């Protein structure tokens, strides 16, 4: 209907004849659309890449001894503070019952001084059964634990101490008379980043046998992880574990971290950040709207006489309104189209610069911001054109003809 309307071509002609003014108005929309789309895309990519890396470990339920206060989320952290609080062998059995077919992995952890060559430092030490390592961690280089004094090291730790496969690490106080404990690096772990599982980027992973031989405390685990095969079971298993182990609600025995709640909190938070960022983009669109409004009002004021002529030779009010609205629509489409094209480029560069990961750039969740931005741009343009169009149509033709 609109396509065949002669007033569209009249409006297009008017856009062409007032080229500079039309381009200025379109430029406002271009900038507005680029801003809102780029920021939207950036937010989406940020959310996608963070949640994806978290989701990789989202099937893990972590059970740690209850320490009273709000210890926060961070299993695998300071082993010293909870040295006297452990998951016992009997609790582990109960957990295994609740977990059913899902894998249950008890973990020892603590920390110790380490010496590599002449360099000294501190690292967290994690002890696990060799056959469970592949469930928990990914080896970047080398092999999994082989038993004995073999050890895996986190990527960050390996970097800091220039550790390679075959490097030897001394554990414990080297100045004392006690014979230092030695381990041999057989594998370097993949960088983890944000994770719900134990964080091993700065850790040394050894076998459970080696750990208890070195530090004692056999059967007293600092945490137990359940790897849930079906994500839908996470809630049930969490609740069952809670019922079984925390019989006394006033004095719970363990803390159970359910990653899905945390994941949704993070997603929600990232969502708010994204909306906030997009709001910043919207401000630029408001500025664009004001500038288009200004251009359109100016356009009407400048063309009062022309409108008077058009009215006097028989142009209806509704037709004047249409002409001005179509002009706004045409400017909106041109501006939004150019803006969309440019925002693919600027969006990509922004994501590259700020998120540093463009894997998700061409996914629907990220690309959706382009049509969305275009739509908002066009809508802004049309809305800004409504009042001027109305004003133009309602001019008194006699008064308008007198205008200079």
The residue (of 137 and 300) whose beta carbon lies closer to another protein is 300
314: left (phi over 0), alpha (psi -120 to 50) or beta: left
Q: How far is the CB of 298 from another protein (least distance, A)?
A: 16
HEC sequence for 324-366: HHHHHHHHHHHHHHHHHHHHHHHHHHHHHHHHCCCCCCCCHHH
The minimum distance between CB 302 and another protein, in angstroms, equals: 11
Q: Is 345 exposed, middle or buried (0-12, 13-18, 19+ CB in 10 A)?
A: exposed
- Least distance to another protein from the beta carbon of 333, Å? 22
Map residue 266 onto helix, strand or coil: helix
> Measured from the CB atom, is 348 or 390 closer to another protein?
390
Nearest to 335 by CA among 292, 378, 287, 368: 378
The Cα–Cα gap between 370 and 340 comes to: 6
Tokens of 220: 């007293």
Closest CA to 134 of 108, 105, 161, 110: 105
Residue 381 C-beta: closest distance to another protein, Å? 22
| Least distance from another protein to the Cβ atom of residue 394, Å | 10
Q: How far is the CB of 397 from another protein (least distance, A)?
A: 5
**Complex with another protein: residue 164 or 316, whichever CB lies closer:** 316
Shortest separation between residue 299's beta carbon and another protein, angstroms: 12
Cα-only R_g, the chain = 33
Which of 8, 386 has the CB closer to another protein? Answer: 8
- The nearer residue to another protein, 15 or 44, going by C-beta atoms, is 15
Residue with smaller CB distance to another protein, 87 or 295: 295
Q: How far is the CB of 391 from another protein (least distance, A)?
A: 16
CB of 311 to another protein, least distance (A): 7
State residue 73 phi and psi, 5-degree precision.
Answer: -90, 120
Full 3-state SS string of 68-98:
CCCCCCCCCCCCCCCCCCCECHHHHHHHHHH
Per CB under 8 A, residues contacting another protein are 5-6, 10, 14, 17-18, 305-306, 308-319, 397-398, 401
Q: Cβ 400 to another protein, closest distance in Å?
A: 10
Task: Report DSSP letters for 167-218, one per residue.
Answer: -EEEES-SSSSSPPEEEEEEEEEPP--S-SS---TTEEEEEHHHHHHHH--T
Contact 60, 369 (CB under 8 A): no
What the block records as the tokens of 284 is 């630029």
Say which residue the tokens 């992880």 belong to. Answer: 225
Taking the least distance from each CB to another protein, the nearer of 10 and 23 is 10
Indicate the residue among 206 and 310 with the shorter CB distance to another protein. 310
Q: Report the residue number, 119 or 402, with the smaller CB distance to another protein.
A: 402
Residue 396 Cβ, how far from another protein at the closest point, in Å?
8
Nearest-10 crossing angle of helices 317-350, 6-17: 60
Closer residue to another protein in complex, CB, 6/101: 6
Is the CB of 289 or the CB of 310 nearer to another protein? 310
Paired residues of 144 in beta bridges? none
226: helix, coil or strand? strand
Do 137 and 151 touch, CB atoms closer than 8 A? no
């Amino acid at each position: 209907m609109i396509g065949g309307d002669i007033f569209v071509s009249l409006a297009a002609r008017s856009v062409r004849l007032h080229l500079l003014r039309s381009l200025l108005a379109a430029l406002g929309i271009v900038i507005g659309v680029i801003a809102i789309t780029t920021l939207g895309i950036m937010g989406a990519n940020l959310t996608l890449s963070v949640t994806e890396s978290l989701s990789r470990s989202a099937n893990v339920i972590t059970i740690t001894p209850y320490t009273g206060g709000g210890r926060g989320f961070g299993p695998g952290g300071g082993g010293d503070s909870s040295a006297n609080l452990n998951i016992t062998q009997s609790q582990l059995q109960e957990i295994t019952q609740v977990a059913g077919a899902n894998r249950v992995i008890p973990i020892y952890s603590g920390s110790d001084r380490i010496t590599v060559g002449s360099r000294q430092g501190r690292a967290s030490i994690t002890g696990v059964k060799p056959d469970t390592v592949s469930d928990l961690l990914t080896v970047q280089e080398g092999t999994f634990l082989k038993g004995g004094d073999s050890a895996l090291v986190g990527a960050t730790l390996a970097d800091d101490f220039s550790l390679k496969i075959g490097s030897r690490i001394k554990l414990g106080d080297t100045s004392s008379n006690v014979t230092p404990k030695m381990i041999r690096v057989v594998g370097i772990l993949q960088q983890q980043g944000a994770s719900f599982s134990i964080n091993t980027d700065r850790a040394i992973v050894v076998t459970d046998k080696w750990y208890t031989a070195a530090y004692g405390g056999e059967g007293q685990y600092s945490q137990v992880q359940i790897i849930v095969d079906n994500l839908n079971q996470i809630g049930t298993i969490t609740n069952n574990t809670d019922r079984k182990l925390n019989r006394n609600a006033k004095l719970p025995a363990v803390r159970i971290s359910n990653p899905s709640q945390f994941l949704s909190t993070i997603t929600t938070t990232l969502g708010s950040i994204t909306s906030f960022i997009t709001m910043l983009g919207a401000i630029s669109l408001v500025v664009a709207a004001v500038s288009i409004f200004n251009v359109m009002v100016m356009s009407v004021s400048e063309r009062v006489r022309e409108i008077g002529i058009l009215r006097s030779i028989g142009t209806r009010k509704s037709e004047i309104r249409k002409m001005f609205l179509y002009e706004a629509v045409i400017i909106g489409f041109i501006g939004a189209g150019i803006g969309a094209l440019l925002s693919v480029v600027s969006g990509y560069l922004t994501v590259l610069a700020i998120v540093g990961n463009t894997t998700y750039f061409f996914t629907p969740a990220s690309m959706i911001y382009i049509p969305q931005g275009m739509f908002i741009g066009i809508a802004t343009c049309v809305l800004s054109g409504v009042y001027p169009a109305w004003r133009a149509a309602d001019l008194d033709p006699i008064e308008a003809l007198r205008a200079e």
